Structure 1
């Protein structure tokens, strides 16, 4: 019997406060090559973790494939070197993507055996007995929801996983999976930012010709809100596009948006990073941005995101959106 059949009430995601920032660890661990990580990479990870903790972040996001496993490995070394740190933070990691195996650059694998094996490997690299959230990284067309349920149930029974999330899934895909699970899906991680706006555009372009320009499955945000599934936004800082990162040939809309972000930051005596994150967090879905930079100063520049969200006016919010899209809304 699934949790829904049992009449379990919709509830807030376990252990994930609303309006929080998440630190994304994909940038830690050195290169994506097979070259081993160094002590310098561990030091870089420690500095990033310190900066994240300084601004109140307690949830750290991983995946088994990040830097070929090195992101988890350097983080595990930081945990081992810092007594008591594991008790102060929450960890989530992802599985489901296989890279450079069997002659393929990549494929997806959410089979029972793969989930069990990959989680155990991640726990070993992270040097921890459990993760607070396990996320299924990408939809696998060959996924059998019953197999996923069996694997997740075993991992939870063993105390290795405390909650389940997904990444890059539509509302319909989550619903099919949820029907076979004994535990609720607590989070869905999607690319969401002022630059990657398909999640937002799809909500206003229903029955509009321009809507065909966006592939984001309409109804996904609404499904997550309805079922208490936290929306985690990766790429939330738009990779620095609006806050000073070099761009080869920025469009007129991108240049105008960068100027507007800087103007609002000056008016509110904050940073451009906090403006961008505040714009996301203003949305009533309760979006939790994932910060992916490894630069401590840029992590700390996100400190006032929630304050900006609370103070951003409706007109300012719309002005940022309209400027970024380069045209008026319908």
Structure 2
């Protein structure tokens, strides 16, 4: 699989990241097959969060991959912290340190390659985040740091105190959830697509060498369902299927290839636990859509060019 540099880090990572949010829905043998399929496809970057399955997803993954020192050297582990479900968001130093220790224990490893702050904490004190990051880096528990669902000024606020580079920003982005792209096309237009809801975060990340990691690349709305093979999106599916036939791949592959075609050099995070769909996601590494095809898909999703 093709690789890209993750932000300003020294990490070369596969262009497709394997999301493990739903691995707790698999039986033991299925989970083992899932991680092995990913490794065989060259997708050795695994994305976690301490809240996935209330921590069970990290545990199941560690067991499924039969974690040991040899395996650990061959994979890249990313996890996220900062959400206390149903209670609050928490970027306090104490919570970050406690959350990382918990993830390390569940993943049966001594370090994370990447730690992301999961969702913006309204009460964030950047000085505390900086202290936590320094402690984790000095202890060798976390090697690289990033954020998730944050806009430019929130990142700038962190960067005033945090000395480590912010290497990634995990954001919701798909063919049907592409407002961060649309507002850049509809500059100075009086329509909904022109509304800047995220502070031009896509351009910001490109300017500052922060890798965008699109999450839910097949979802429309906020976890309302997938757009592929969905009767709500007939024109989009017709166009995707037409292009998929041309490249002799599935519609899943094209949906990921659409994201990879963007020059921001993104790293989509898959969410599937179906091994065949995972393989199809990984095949997107070898598909390079033309400019015309990219725009045809964009317009078929209901996006109008000004």
Q: CA RMSD in A?
A: 1.9
Between 1:180-189 and 1:12-21, the stretch displaced more is 12-21
User: Aligned to 1:196, what secondary structure does the other structure show?
Assistant: coil
Q: Deviations over 1:73-121 (max 9, x none)?
A: 101212436672211100000000001xxxxx23100000000001101
Q: Is the 8 A contact 2:43 2:282 kept in 1?
A: no
Of residues 276, 279, 290, the one that matches 2:255 is: 276
Q: Counterpart in 2 of 1:29?
A: 24
**Superposition pairs of residues 140-179 of structure 1, within 5 angstroms:** 140-179=121-160
Where does 1:187-206 land on structure 2 (aligned, <5 Å)? Answer: 187-206=168-187
Of 227, 241, 244, 2:226 maps to 241
1:183 is aligned to 2:169: no
Question: Partner of 2:72: helix, strand, or coil?
Answer: helix
Alignment pair present for 1:267 and 2:246 = yes
Work out the CA distance in 2 between the residues paired with 1:192 and 1:299. Answer: 18
- Aligned pairs, number: 297
- Shift of residue 172, structure 1, vs aligned partner: 1.2
The residue aligned with 1:285 is 264
Structure 1 residue 218, shift from structure 2 partner: 3.4
Q: Does 1:93 align with 2:79?
A: yes
1:98-137 aligned within 5 A = 98-99=84-85, 105-137=86-118
Q: Secondary structure at the match of 2:18?
A: strand
Contact 2:113 2:142 in 1 (8 A): yes
Which of the residues 183, 203, 206 maps onto 1:222? 203
Instruction: Tell me if structure 2 keeps the 8 A contact 1:241–1:258.
Output: no
How far apart are 1:213 and its partner, in Å? 7.2
Q: Would the aligned equivalents of 1:76 and 1:127 in 2 still touch at CA under 8 Å?
A: yes
SS of equivalent to 2:95: helix
Q: Give the equivalent residue in structure 2 for 1:300.
A: 279
SS in 1 for 2:84: strand
Q: Report if the CA contact (8 A) 2:13-2:45 is conserved.
A: no
How far apart are 1:15 and its partner, in Å? 4.3
Is 2:146–2:168's contact at 8 Å kept on the other side of the alignment? yes
Q: Deviations over 1:55-81 (max 9, x none)?
A: 211110000000111111101212436
TM-score (structure 1 length as normaliser): 0.85
Compute the displacement of 1:223 (Å): 1.2
* Conserved 8 A contact 2:35-2:65: no
Is 1:13 aligned with 2:13? no
The Cα of 1:206 is off from its aligned counterpart by 2.5
Give the distance between the partners of 1:65 and 1:278, measured in 2 at CA.
Answer: 29
Counterpart of 1:162 in 2: which secondary structure? strand
Rounded to whole Å, the distance in 1 between the matches of 2:131 and 2:272 is 35
